[in-house]
Amino acid sequence: MAKYTGPQCRLCRAESTKLFLKGERCHTSKCPIAKKRPAPGKEAKDRKGRVSDYGNQLREKQKLKRMYGMLEKQFKLFFDRAEKKAGKSGDNLIIMLESRLDNVVYRMRFASSRQQARQLVNHGHILVNGKRVNIPSFIVKEGDVIAVREKSKKMIAIKESLKELSKSGAYAWLSVDPDAMTGKFVETPKRSEITDLGDVHEHLIVELYSR
């Protein structure tokens, strides 16, 4: 499967906003967005003009897709599933993205970024209800227990990531035991509780796919 392997910060510059692809490191002054660096490409400033409605919708989709590290086909599948659920499609989409195993591992601070969390899952370091799951897109349900595999608890990367838990605390819909390296998906989050996605306007994504 094709995937983006270039500089992460280039994607943030393309969207002109922080996508937090490097986790907490994006909060530092070294971030190119903080330095107000222009979009990638030659004479990017000269290319800027009035953006069409379609252009705005496309940018919102690209922004959210890149934030969660997904490819187009998989992102569209998630949207189709979100659209079939009761409630607002945009809210359903973000709640489903937040319920992905790789994202939950990142939110529990077992990884410093979603990309690192995806690698932990892919390499079999994560257990769900005592069973190894190596599918990053696996949807975690209320009551599921997420744990670092016993043999993986010595990993320095995980120990370093967990230090952030003492600074920022756990999210309201999660409970985490940093010493045991386990956590519980207490409840499915509400859209109003997911406040750290920046200026994402999911209704524009709904409009884009409804064309």
* Whole-number pLDDT of residue 1: 40
| Rounded Cα–Cα distance for residues 121 and 61 (Å) | 25
Query: pLDDT tens digits for the chain (211 residues)?
Result: 445 565 555 555 555 566 656 555 555 555 555 555 656 655 555 556 688 999 999 999 999 999 999 999 999 999 999 999 999 999 999 999 999 999 999 999 999 999 999 999 999 999 999 999 999 999 999 999 999 999 999 999 999 999 999 888 889 999 999 999 999 999 999 999 998 888 899 999 999 999 8
* Whole-number pLDDT of residue 207: 96
- The residue to which tokens 């330095």 are assigned: 35
Smallest CA-to-CA distance from 99 within 171, 160, 201 is with 171
Residue 78 neighbours by CB under 8 Å, 6+ apart? 70, 93, 96, 97
Domain boundaries, the chain: 100-188
CATH class name, domain 100-188: alpha beta
